[in-house]
Amino acid sequence: MKRSFFRTIICCLTILTMTIFTGCSGDDAVTSDKDVVTLPGVESIVGTWREDSEYGINILTVNEDSSYALYHTSGGKESGKVVIDSDVHSDGTYDSWFSFYDESGELWTGFPNMAEYTKNPPSELISESVDRMKFVRIDENEKTPAEEYVGIWGCGRCTITITKAKDNYKANVIWGSSAFESSEWNYICHYDEESATLICNSNATLVNHKYNNKGKDKKTTVYKDGSGSFIVRGGVLRWTDNKESAGKEMYFAYSPVQE
Tens of pLDDT, residue by residue over 215-235, are 889 999 999 999 999 999 999
* Position 177 pLDDT exceeds 80: yes
Position 20 confidence tier, pLDDT thresholds 50, 70, 90: very low
Mean pLDDT of 185-209: 97
Overall pTM surpassing 0.85 (yes/no): no
In DSSP terms, 48 is beta-bridged to 61
Query: What's residue 6's pLDDT?
Result: 36
Query: What's residue 19's pLDDT?
Result: 35
Percent of the chain whose predicted confidence (pLDDT) is above 70: 84
Percent of the chain whose predicted confidence (pLDDT) is above 90: 67
User: 136 near 219, Cβ under 8 Å?
Assistant: no
Residue type, 68: Y
| Residue 10, CB-side half-sphere exposure with 13 Å CA sphere | 6
Residue type, 129: S
| Residue 216, CB-side half-sphere exposure with 13 Å CA sphere | 4
* Position 26 pLDDT exceeds 90: no
Query: What's residue 75's pLDDT?
Result: 87
* Phi and psi torsions of 178, nearest 5°: -160, -175
Position 141 confidence tier, pLDDT thresholds 50, 70, 90: very high
